[in-house]
Amino acid sequence: MQCLWCGQFIIQELSWGSLILPKRKSLCEECNLRLIQLEDKRCVKCSKNCKAALCTDCSNWKAHQNTLQFNYSIFTYNEMMQKMVSRWKYRGDAYLGNAFRGDMVYSFKKRFNFIKKHAVIVPIPISRDRLSERGFNQAEMLAGFLPMKIMPALERKDSEKQSKKTRKQRINTTNPFSLKIAINKPVILVDDIYTTGSTLRHASNKLTEYGCPEVYAFTLIRG
């Protein structure tokens, strides 16, 4: 097959590890090396690279309502990832999202194996305006890669882009979600990027308000 980013042909390598946890390559070696995965030294709550167990941001979040158990992200938001996200989300190349399938499945099985039998996946919704612009919801696409039941339990009320808001505005924004389905089992929220965490925390707060016992988050990128 061809690299989904540069078009170069890829030779799939077989190993015992790939047979146990299949990780089909959608990017060539050169493009894959330009994506930087987060290291193990990270905040236990939000996946931010740091030496301490808890980063400053998460310490500050203690002053706010916070029902999110933790967020686990895979990649840093470096220049290569920014270019890929731009083409994927904003320039109509929805198929490019398949480049992340293998890493999503691999990391999910490693980090969420302890709860996957009891939980359901809830992708973060986007507004109708954003869906009309893009033609797809990137969170739903990522969630579709995972071997779990998906429940579209939330609906987004606002249409303002998060990328247009300042950091302070994101943190202090009112809850943009309404509940469509009450869930009485653990939930793993899925989204493309964790920046301040406000979107995921709002989603978590709304779910727990109506009886969800535990909420976790799994994101492709830590911004």
Domains in the chain, number: 2
Closest CA to 150 of 183, 178, 177: 183
CA 35-40-46 angle, to 5 degrees, is 85
- Which structure tokens are listed for 43? 């905040």
Q: Tell me if the pTM is above 0.85.
A: yes
Boundaries of domain holding 153:
39-222
Going by their DSSP bridges, the two strands 177-179 and 154-156 should be labelled as antiparallel
Distance CA 122, CA 219 (A): 12
Which segments within the chain are labelled E, that is strand?
68-76, 120-123, 154-156, 177-179, 187-194, 215-222
Please list the pLDDT of the chain residue by residue as tens digits (223 residues).
899 999 999 887 766 665 555 556 899 999 999 999 999 899 999 999 999 999 998 988 776 668 999 999 999 999 999 999 999 999 999 999 999 999 999 999 999 999 988 999 999 999 999 999 999 999 999 999 999 999 999 999 876 665 566 666 666 678 999 999 999 999 999 999 999 999 999 999 999 999 999 999 999 999 9
According to DSSP, residue 163 is labeled G
d(CA 65, CA 59): 12
Give the domain CATH number at 148.
3.40.50
Give 88's DSSP letter: I
Q: Are residues 19 and 92 in the same domain?
A: no
Residue 100 sits in the same domain as residue 137: yes
